[in-house]
């Protein structure tokens, strides 16, 4: 496991001092100030550079769909992968709007995607049904983590200075909820949500499925990789690997919604030093997302009622990060502008 560096606290201090000098009442840019200071620490620069974002969408299918936990059929996963590369999905549009590199990785889609221009890294054709069996073997989980690590290496080699992981996998809010329950200690009723929009009966069933998966795994302490293999999914494990490699290379990670946050919790269980590299973008409408973010100690930037995944909420928040940096870098100081600073204590 590569070592994860700590952010540069001297750069944070220098950035905080600069914020006090910029031509505005102290603290008046609110969260934009905190963001600029955090990004200074993560980049190791008093004045961070504009971000070069890379978005990687990881796709995988889920055996647990057999239990009736999603409002959509599993075939949608493969069809949406085609939609990503043909430019018609929400994340395709948001990647273009933000001039972000977009890569799509097949980590474990059930269908054959050979004809599509995606990264072919299928570890297996869909996960096991977590209510009744492990999602995958330990060996497959290690392979899925490596799929994500390789994707992060490609993005960083291409110049990325901010990583966004997206997810596509019908059924994946169920394993995500199971992971979040197990890693935060919350009960299924506090975490399980409607995903793509299931009704009351299916929501009740989904809670039971998650409770059964948790009971199957038992309460003895288990490491993060074992939990991903038992309760996760192929794209979820790949996202965890993507985050672990990004942090190891000192690149900030902008989380998306429920699924990516579940993957981040698993990555944190594997390597606690990842925590300062995680940034929250938005609060998903999915029930347990706010609690999952709180467990990571993160405050989301926006709450737009999104419940999509794909990396969409993270992409949407990108302009806020870019503008936090632009203000920090581009505003004049009181001395430069000849404006009088604060007079009263």
Ligand X SMILES: O=C(O)c1cccnc1
Nearest-approach distance from CB 202 to ligand RBZ, in angstroms: 9
Q: Which residues have a Cβ under 8 Å from the Cβ of 331 and sit 6 or more positions away?
A: 22, 23, 24
Taking every pair of C-alpha atoms in the chain, what is the biggest distance, in angstroms? 69
Question: For tokens 């290379």, what's the residue?
Answer: 249
* Span of 39-47, 139-147, 166-174, 314-322 interacting with ligand RBZ by CB under 6 A: 166-174
The DSSP letter of residue 327 is: H
Q: Residue 323: how many CB atoms within 10 A of its CB?
A: 15
Length of the chain: 345
CA distance 208 to 64: 12
CA distances from 126 to 107, 194, 299 (A): 9, 21, 33
Q: Does 70 bind ligand RBZ (CB under 6 A)?
A: yes
Buried residues in 12-28 as b, exposed as e (16+ CB within 10 A): bebbbebbeebeeeeee
Q: Does 277 bind ligand X (CB under 6 A)?
A: no
Residue of 108, 126, 128, 195 that binds ligand RBZ (CB under 6 A): 195
Secondary element (H or E) of residue 33: helix 30-43
* Span of 23-31, 127-135, 294-302, 307-315 interacting with ligand RBZ by CB under 6 A: 307-315
* Span of 8-16, 56-64, 203-211, 283-291 interacting with ligand X by CB under 6 A: 283-291
Residue from 31, 170, 32 nearest 109 by CA: 170
Q: Does 206 bind ligand X (CB under 6 A)?
A: no
Tokens representing 58 are 């990881």
Question: What, of ligand X, ligand RBZ, none, does residue 286 touch, CB below 5 to 8 Å by kind?
Answer: ligand X
Nearer to ligand X, 104 or 248 (CB): 104
Residue of 186, 206, 307, 328 that binds ligand X (CB under 6 A): 307
310 is catalytic: yes
In the range 113-142, which residues lie near ligand X by CB under 6 A? none
Q: Does 241 bind ligand X (CB under 6 A)?
A: no
Nearer to ligand RBZ, 75 or 158 (CB): 75
Annotated active-site positions, please?
A: 310
Which positions lie near ligand X, rule CB under 6 A?
173, 195-196, 256-259, 284, 286, 289, 307-309
Which positions lie near ligand RBZ, rule CB under 6 A?
70-72, 76, 80, 167-174, 195-196, 308-310
């Amino acid at each position: 496991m590569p070592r994860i560096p700590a952010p540069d606290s001297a750069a944070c201090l220098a950035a905080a001092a600069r914020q006090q000098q910029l031509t505005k009442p102290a603290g008046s840019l609110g969260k934009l100030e905190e963001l600029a200071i955090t990004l200074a620490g993560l980049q190791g620069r008093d004045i961070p550079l504009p971000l070069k974002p890379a978005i990687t969408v990881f796709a995988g299918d889920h055996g647990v769909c057999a239990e009736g936990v999603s409002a959509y059929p599993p075939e949608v996963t493969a069809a949406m992968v085609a939609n990503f590369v043909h430019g018609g999905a929400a994340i395709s549009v948001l990647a273009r709007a933000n001039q972000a590199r977009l890569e799509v990785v097949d980590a474990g889609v059930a269908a054959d995607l050979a004809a599509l221009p995606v990264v072919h890294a299928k570890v297996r054709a869909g996960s096991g049904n977590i209510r009744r069996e492990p999602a995958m073997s330990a060996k497959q989980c290690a392979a899925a983590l490596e799929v994500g690590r390789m994707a992060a290496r490609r993005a960083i080699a291409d110049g990325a200075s901010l990583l966004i992981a997206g997810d596509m996998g019908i059924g994946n809010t169920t394993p995500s909820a199971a992971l979040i329950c197990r890693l935060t200690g919350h009960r299924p009723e506090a975490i399980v949500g409607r995903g793509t929009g299931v009704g009351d009966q299916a929501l009740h069933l989904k809670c039971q499925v998650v409770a059964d998966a948790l009971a199957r795994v038992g309460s003895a302490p288990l490491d993060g990789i074992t939990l991903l293999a038992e309760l996760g999914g192929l794209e979820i494990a790949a996202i965890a690997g993507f985050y672990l490699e990004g942090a190891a290379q000192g690149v900030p990670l902008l989380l998306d919604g429920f699924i990516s946050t579940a993957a981040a919790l698993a990555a944190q269980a594997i390597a606690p030093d990842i925590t300062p590299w995680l940034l929250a973008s938005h609060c998903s409408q999915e029930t347990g997302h706010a609690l999952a973010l709180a467990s990571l100690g993160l405050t989301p930037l926006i709450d737009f009622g999104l419940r999509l995944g794909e990396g969409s909420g993270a992409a949407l928040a990108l302009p806020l990060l870019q503008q936090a940096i632009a203000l920090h870098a581009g505003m004049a100081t009181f001395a430069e502008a000849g404006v009088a600073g604060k007079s009263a204590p």
